[in-house]
């Protein structure tokens, strides 16, 4: 329309071009300039007759741009308009009681009321009015009342609420009151200005006495308020009730929560009473069959506390069982097939596998946002569609809305079609470990760089608006956009990402690492030309920058998440923070289960990262609890699920109660558009598996303890059992869980090697820890020459010297007389020397020393009583013939018999005399059953397949230390990787291991440090020295080797000691009951399961 005056332009835009100027003018006058009233008048058709416009008292913000607007009319749910619907823009405003906008006939019901007193005369067919006394807030201190009679305000005080609804004659004389059941919800509807009621008397006794029953019909008219925001919704709180801007914190939420619950209850009751049924629902999560008692809106303490207390989140929540997980992931898997596979541009040199191209297509499509008119017209899962009822004697106008939408979960109603939200430009890439998610992300970076989508569509503008800061604060353009894709990954994978990124590109992609001292980028440099395409950083870096920023701005980190955003907007971020002052083109979180707990600072830091395109990469989006998933969804800013209270109410609580299936259905529908997951087992459309890997063989090798190890183990076991029984009797097992766990851990350590547990055995070695004891190799191989020198020259008893010298001479000389052991009088079996150079069989002397120790006496030489002597001070010697590097079998036999290992390493410094080599060493290394088994395998492997590399995993770094020693003895070159290594050291180690010809054939890795993300495909053998409680961790470790890029079959050996706690752990693993509750278990049952496990272990 041409020539629309300024003041009418908005109205014209809204109502459409068909409305003529005169009408517009009239509307404008009637409504006194208020847009909303004007619209309502228009739709009511009442602008012809209204004379008194009333007092407009509302300010509402309505944008007047001509472009299709997306304005939140439903409390932040972000619904998108369909083009053919009339648009009503009412944004976050409150109404006064007198304004009777739009009272829309809704339905009617018959009620029984009762009369008060007999003064009034009424007759059937008479119209009545309903009204409310103002709720009487009498503050009662002390008792908190539960249930409907009172409302808890959250600070321990209660207000007694008044439900009374009176009905009166037209002239205002009171007739009576509604029954309590009815008045409960009616009163709320009236209080919150959601509905109006008019009634007609149907039946009344001729004589009205107090308490007489009157039958009425009540007609319900909904106000516009009912269709607008039901009060300030949690996320974008702008103003409190007093109109001041306020930080949303937990306490505030509670009050709003209360209102919300009340309204929800009231509206649900209305629907129930009016017997309204939906025309259409989202079938996957039909609310009626969900069983969630949505109509019971009583503000029970439990649910309030649940949504209130973010801190009791971790209190023994049920975990998701594997079966449930499979169900969840199944849907996500099918999703990937919907798209046409896509190739990245030529800048990517790596050729994608077919399933990777599918992933690229999916991700690309998600980033390039379709407009609302596209294929996402699915009804939002929580909403239902209804049709307005026809009111008697009233013809609806043609352009009046016929349908409305109701969300029983929040009690909200809307005239607009609420779609499944599509504002989330990103998702969860949840392919199984080892399928090449890194490559998939890199292909996305190549395919959708900044330049293409640099022009903001209005949706993008809005999405940035609603996702960055609160709507009232439009200063989000403080942040300049950067073309960089930010990748956040664990520290150990930094180089892996960088290398993959560089190697898969033709050189046009610039890749930088932002870590440690080399943080060469600032916020300004990231926005300029030279900014890298990919910036890789670690979770630690993100966390530390975030923390320092908070410290600088003096913010209180304990406040809620949205609070963070407010502060950010209101205080200026310090310049120079590269990570938080920039809007990245894209943000990717690798191994995103690092932020699975939303309470951690790391998670909060990641949430604060800024980008419209947000991706999350993880092999396991749900590790244990559904809340793990929430954290990811929150990061993705996928409305409305990213709101915690919402999630809690609609997913967590149903899941915890018996409604697991329904809750899972909701989760599935949440996941479906967000998650792409394939596993190694997934089949493509032709039924072939998407990748073929060489086979993987996992074997369990059962070992037996040696006698000594068994003694130690049994002692510990008895000790543990005693303690356990004690706790059982006292009934405090689960309270003393920590100490039982410690016991169990020590038992597991003994299974590896007793030294990990044994304290120092002699007073001498006090101060040294057990690993030092086992490894006191400081002196190393004692040079024979030195020894001889010591004895032939220097001070001391002459005879002693001579004696010593002669002994040594004897050892080396080829005649080698056979000496007799002074204790057993037999030929020296595995002879050892004492410092005084007297010799005896190893077992004899050890036996003797043991007895002395038992008596509490000092160890001494049996011959000369020279002491103190301990086991470690014994000197062992071995003789090898020069040609062999492998010990003779006879010697091995002896060693095995005695249960100890002397080790046989050819020492270049040893004396050689006529073909015999004598190696002298301190006798202080003991082996264990597992070490023996490991060395047996490694030695065999060295003989048969010298080029094969193996990986040895253990949970205990102490154990790895011992393995190192034994490897040194046997001449193996090895590499080591654990948590204590610096980033640089790790990189070097991994690099070395990956080099095929590198002489180190064995890599020792601590289970935790190595389990994540590494690529160890150069190895094809895996040895797991000890089992973990959760087989998934072991599986992940094995997947480091058995993954894409592996060319040979992978053989895994797990060492388990028979009849030990390890065997019990295995059986627990198999039951998949590892100290967690399964499907359908209550807390008590879960505790019972744990007790069972413990009893099994200690049986």
Partner 1 sequence: MALPKRIIKETERLMADPAPGISAMAHEDNLRYFDVIITGPEQSPFAGGVFKLELFLPEEYPMSPPKVRFLTKIYHPNIDKLGRICLDILKDKWSPALQIRTVLLSVQALLSSPNPDDPLANDVAQHWKENENAAIQTAQEWTRKYAM
Binding site for partner 1 (CB under 8 A): 822-826, 844, 847-848, 851, 862-863, 865
Tokens of 779: 């002196």
> Which is nearest to 349 in space by CA: 477, 224, 442, 428?
442
Tokens of 189: 């509807």
> Which is nearest to 647 in space by CA: 313, 906, 315?
313
Q: Which is nearer to partner 1, 698 or 863 (CB)?
A: 863
Task: Quote the distance between the C-alpha of residue 994 and its chain's center.
Answer: 31
Q: Which is nearer to partner 1, 556 or 826 (CB)?
A: 826
Work out how close the CB of 850 gets to partner 1 at its nearest, in angstroms, rounded to a whole number.
Answer: 10
- Residue 503: count other Cβ atoms within 10 Å of its Cβ: 10
Cβ pair 953, 1037 in contact under 8 A? yes
Q: Which is nearer to partner 1, 516 or 867 (CB)?
A: 867
Q: Which is nearer to partner 1, 387 or 847 (CB)?
A: 847
Cα–Cα dist 405/383, whole Å: 6
Q: Which is nearer to partner 1, 322 or 826 (CB)?
A: 826
Q: Which is nearer to partner 1, 866 or 994 (CB)?
A: 866
Work out how close the CB of 899 gets to partner 1 at its nearest, in angstroms, rounded to a whole number.
Answer: 19
Q: Which is nearer to partner 1, 846 or 1094 (CB)?
A: 846
Work out how close the CB of 821 gets to partner 1 at its nearest, in angstroms, rounded to a whole number.
Answer: 9
Continuous segment of H or E residues that includes residue 785: helix 784-792
Q: Which is nearer to partner 1, 206 or 856 (CB)?
A: 856
Phi, psi (deg, nearest 5) at residue 765 = -90, 15
> Which is nearest to 274 in space by CA: 419, 388, 120?
388
Continuous segment of H or E residues that includes residue 1094: helix 1083-1097
Q: Buried b vs exposed e over 507-517: b needs ≥16 C-beta within 10 Å?
A: eebebbbbbee
Q: Which is nearer to partner 1, 470 or 839 (CB)?
A: 839
Work out how close the CB of 697 gets to partner 1 at its nearest, in angstroms, rounded to a whole number.
Answer: 49
Tokens of 897: 């018999």
Helix, strand, or coil here: 255?
Answer: helix
Work out how close the CB of 807 gets to partner 1 at its nearest, in angstroms, rounded to a whole number.
Answer: 16
Q: Which is nearer to partner 1, 826 or 1085 (CB)?
A: 826
Phi, psi (deg, nearest 5) at residue 468 = -90, -65
Q: Which is nearer to partner 1, 400 or 847 (CB)?
A: 847
Tell the burial category of 249 from Cβ atoms under 10 Å away from its Cβ (0-12, 13-18, 19+): middle
Work out how close the CB of 861 gets to partner 1 at its nearest, in angstroms, rounded to a whole number.
Answer: 8
Helix, strand, or coil here: 197?
Answer: strand
The HSE-up count of residue 305 (CA atoms within 13 Å, CB side) is: 7
3-state helix, strand, coil in the chain (%, to 5): 40, 15, 45
Cβ pair 616, 592 in contact under 8 A? yes
Work out how close the CB of 845 gets to partner 1 at its nearest, in angstroms, rounded to a whole number.
Answer: 9
Work out how close the CB of 799 gets to partner 1 at its nearest, in angstroms, rounded to a whole number.
Answer: 17
Distances (CA, A) of 1074 to 285, 594, 1065: 32, 22, 8
Work out how close the CB of 987 gets to partner 1 at its nearest, in angstroms, rounded to a whole number.
Answer: 57
Distances (CA, A) of 132 to 119, 153, 186, 298: 20, 22, 9, 20
Q: Which is nearer to partner 1, 354 or 822 (CB)?
A: 822
Strand partners, 273: none
Cβ pair 488, 590 in contact under 8 A? yes
Work out how close the CB of 836 gets to partner 1 at its nearest, in angstroms, rounded to a whole number.
Answer: 12
In sequence order, which residues have a C-beta less than 8 Å from that of residue 909 and are 6 or more positions away?
781, 783
Strand partners, 404: 386
Q: Which is nearer to partner 1, 589 or 846 (CB)?
A: 846
In sequence order, which residues have a C-beta less than 8 Å from that of residue 379 and are 6 or more positions away?
280, 281, 282, 385, 417, 418, 419, 420
Work out how close the CB of 733 gets to partner 1 at its nearest, in angstroms, rounded to a whole number.
Answer: 43
Work out how close the CB of 825 gets to partner 1 at its nearest, in angstroms, rounded to a whole number.
Answer: 4
Q: Which is nearer to partner 1, 532 or 862 (CB)?
A: 862
Edge-first strand order for the sheet with 911-913 is 839-841, 831-833, 875-881, 916-922, 911-913
Work out how close the CB of 860 gets to partner 1 at its nearest, in angstroms, rounded to a whole number.
Answer: 8
Cα–Cα dist 665/667, whole Å: 5
- Residue 932: count other Cβ atoms within 10 Å of its Cβ: 17
Work out how close the CB of 855 gets to partner 1 at its nearest, in angstroms, rounded to a whole number.
Answer: 8
Q: Which is nearer to partner 1, 502 or 864 (CB)?
A: 864
Q: Which is nearer to partner 1, 25 or 800 (CB)?
A: 800
Q: Which is nearer to partner 1, 202 or 863 (CB)?
A: 863
Work out how close the CB of 828 gets to partner 1 at its nearest, in angstroms, rounded to a whole number.
Answer: 13
Work out how close the CB of 848 gets to partner 1 at its nearest, in angstroms, rounded to a whole number.
Answer: 6
Work out how close the CB of 851 gets to partner 1 at its nearest, in angstroms, rounded to a whole number.
Answer: 6
- Residue 1093: count other Cβ atoms within 10 Å of its Cβ: 20
> Which is nearest to 410 in space by CA: 231, 222, 189, 260?
260
Tokens of 1034: 């072991």
Work out how close the CB of 867 gets to partner 1 at its nearest, in angstroms, rounded to a whole number.
Answer: 11
Phi-psi region of 481 (alpha: psi -120 to 50; beta: other; left: phi over 0): beta
Tell the burial category of 851 from Cβ atoms under 10 Å away from its Cβ (0-12, 13-18, 19+): exposed
Q: Which is nearer to partner 1, 75 or 862 (CB)?
A: 862
Torsion, CA 380, CA 383, CA 384, CA 387, rounded to 10: -100
């Amino acid at each position: 329309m041409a020539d629309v005056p300024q003041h009418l332009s908005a109205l014209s835009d809204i109502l459409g071009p068909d409305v003529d100027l005169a009408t517009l003018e009239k509307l404008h006058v009637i409504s006194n300039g208020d847009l909303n009233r004007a619209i309502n008048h228009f739709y009511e058709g009442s602008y012809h007759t209204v004379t008194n416009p009333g007092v407009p008292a509302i300010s509402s913000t309505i944008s007047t741009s001509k472009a299709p607007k997306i304005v939140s009319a439903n409390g932040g749910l972000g619904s998108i308009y369909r083009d053919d619907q009339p648009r009503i823009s009412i944004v976050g405003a409150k109404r006064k009681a007198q304004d009777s906008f739009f009272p829309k006939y809704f339905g009617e019901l018959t009620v029984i009321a009762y009369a008060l007193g007999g003064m009034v005369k009424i007759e059937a067919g008479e119209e009545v009015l309903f009204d409310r006394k103002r709720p009487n807030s009498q503050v009662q201190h002390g008792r908190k009342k539960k249930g409907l009679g009172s409302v808890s305000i959250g600070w321990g005080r209660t207000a007694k609420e008044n439900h009374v609804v009176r009905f009166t004659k037209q002239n205002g004389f009171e007739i009576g009151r509604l029954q309590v059941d009815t008045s409960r919800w009616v009163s709320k509807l009236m209080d919150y200005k959601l509905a109006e009621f008019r009634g007609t008397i149907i039946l009344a006794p001729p004589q009205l006495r107090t308490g007489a029953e009157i039958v009425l019909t009540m007609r319900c008219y909904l106000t516009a308020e009912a269709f607008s925001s039901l009060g300030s919704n949690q996320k974008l709180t702008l103003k409190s009730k007093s109109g001041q801007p306020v930080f949303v914190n937990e306490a505030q939420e509670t009050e709003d929560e209360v209102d919300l619950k009340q309204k929800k209850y009231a509206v649900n009751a209305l629907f129930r009473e009016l017997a309204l049924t939906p025309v259409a629902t989202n079938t996957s999560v039909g609310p009626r069959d969900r069983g969630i008692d949505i109509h019971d809106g009583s503000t029970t303490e439990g649910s309030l506390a649940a949504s209130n207390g973010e801190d009791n989140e971790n209190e023994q929540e049920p975990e998701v069982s594997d079966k449930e997980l499979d169900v969840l992931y199944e849907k996500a898997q099918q999703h990937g097939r919907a798209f046409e596979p896509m190739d990245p541009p030529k800048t990517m040199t790596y050729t994608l596998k077919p399933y990777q191209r599918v992933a690229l297509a999916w991700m690309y499509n998600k980033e390039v946002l379709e407009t609302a008119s596209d294929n996402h017209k699915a009804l939002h899962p929580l909403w239902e569609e209804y049709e307005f009822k026809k009111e008697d004697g009233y013809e609806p106008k043609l352009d009046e809305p016929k349908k409305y939408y109701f969300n029983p979960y929040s009690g909200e109603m809307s005239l607009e079609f609420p779609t499944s939200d599509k504002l989330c430009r990103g998702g969860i890439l949840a392919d199984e470990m080892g399928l090449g998610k890194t490559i998939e992300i890199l292909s996305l970076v190549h395919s959708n760089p900044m330049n293409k989508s640099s022009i903001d569509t209005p949706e993008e503008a809005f999405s940035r608006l609603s996702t960055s800061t609160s709507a009232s604060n439009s200063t989000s353009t403080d942040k300049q956009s950067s073309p960089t894709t930010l990748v956040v990954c664990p520290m150990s994978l930094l180089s892996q990402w960088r290398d993959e990124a560089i190697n898969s590109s033709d050189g046009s992609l610039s890749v930088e690492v932002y870590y440690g001292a080399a943080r060469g980028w600032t916020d300004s440099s990231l926005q300029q030309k030279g900014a890298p395409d990919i910036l890789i950083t670690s979770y630690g870096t993100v966390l530390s920058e975030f923390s320092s920023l908070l410290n600088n701005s003096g913010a209180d980190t304990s406040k809620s998440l949205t609070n963070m955003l407010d502060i950010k907007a209101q205080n200026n971020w310090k310049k120079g923070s590269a990570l938080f002052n920039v809007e990245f083109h894209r943000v990717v979180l690798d191994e995103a289960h690092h932020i699975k707990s939303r309470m951690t600072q790391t998670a909060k830091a990641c949430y604060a990262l800024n980008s419209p395109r947000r991706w999350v990469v993880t092999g396991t989006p749900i590790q244990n609890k559904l809340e793990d998933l929430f954290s990811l969804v929150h990061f993705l800013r996928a409305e409305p699920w990213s709101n915690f209270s919402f999630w809690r109410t609609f997913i967590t609580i149903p899941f915890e109660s018996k409604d697991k299936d329904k809750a899972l259905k909701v989760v599935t529908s949440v996941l479906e558009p967000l998650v792409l997951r394939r596993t190694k087992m997934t089949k493509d459309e032709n039924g072939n598996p998407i990748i073929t890997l060489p086979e993987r063989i996992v074997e369990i090798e059962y070992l037996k303890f040696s006698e000594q190890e068994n003694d130690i183990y049994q002692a510990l076991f008895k000790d543990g059992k005693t303690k356990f029984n004690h706790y059982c009797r006292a009934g405090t097992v689960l309270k003393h869980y920590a100490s039982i766990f410690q016991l169990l851990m020590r038992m597991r350590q003994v299974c590896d090697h007793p030294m990990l547990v044994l304290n120092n055995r002699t007073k001498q070695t006090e101060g040294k820890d057990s690993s030092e004891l086992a490894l006191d190799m400081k002196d190393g191989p004692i040079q024979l020459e030195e020894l001889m020198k010591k004895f032939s020259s220097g001070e001391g008893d002459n005879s002693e010297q001579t004696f010593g010298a002669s002994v040594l001479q004897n050892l080396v000389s080829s005649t080698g007389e056979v000496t007799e052991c002074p204790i057993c009088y037999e030929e020296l079996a595995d002879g050892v020397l004492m410092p005084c150079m007297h010799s005896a069989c190893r077992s004899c002397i050890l036996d003797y020393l043991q007895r002395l120790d038992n008596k509490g006496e000092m160890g001494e030489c049996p011959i000369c009583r020279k002491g103190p002597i301990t086991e470690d001070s014994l000197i062992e010697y071995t003789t090898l013939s020069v040609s062999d590097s492998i010990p003779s079998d006879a010697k091995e036999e002896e060693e095995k018999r005695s249960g100890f290992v002397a080790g046989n390493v050819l020492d270049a410094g040893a004396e050689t005399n006529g073909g015999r080599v004598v190696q002298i060493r301190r006798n202080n290394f003991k082996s264990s059953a597992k070490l023996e088994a490991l060395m047996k395998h490694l030695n065999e492997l060295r003989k048969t397949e010298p080029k094969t590399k193996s990986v040895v995993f253990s949970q205990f770094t102490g154990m790895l230390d011992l393995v190192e020693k034994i490897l040194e003895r046997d001449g193996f070159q090895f590499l080591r990787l654990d948590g204590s290594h610096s980033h640089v050291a790790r990189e070097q180690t991994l690099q070395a291991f990956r080099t095929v010809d590198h002489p180190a054939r064995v890599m020792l890795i601590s289970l935790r440090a190595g389990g994540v993300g590494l690529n160890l495909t150069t190895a094809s053998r895996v040895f797991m020295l000890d089992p973990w409680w959760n087989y998934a961790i072991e599986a992940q470790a094995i997947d480091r080797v058995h993954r894409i890029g592996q060319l040979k079959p992978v053989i895994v050996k797990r060492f388990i000691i028979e009849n030990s706690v390890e065997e019990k752990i295995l059986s627990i693993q198999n039951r998949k009951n590892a100290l967690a509750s399964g499907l359908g278990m209550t807390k008590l049952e879960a505790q019972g399961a744990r007790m069972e496990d413990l009893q099994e272990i200690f049986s």
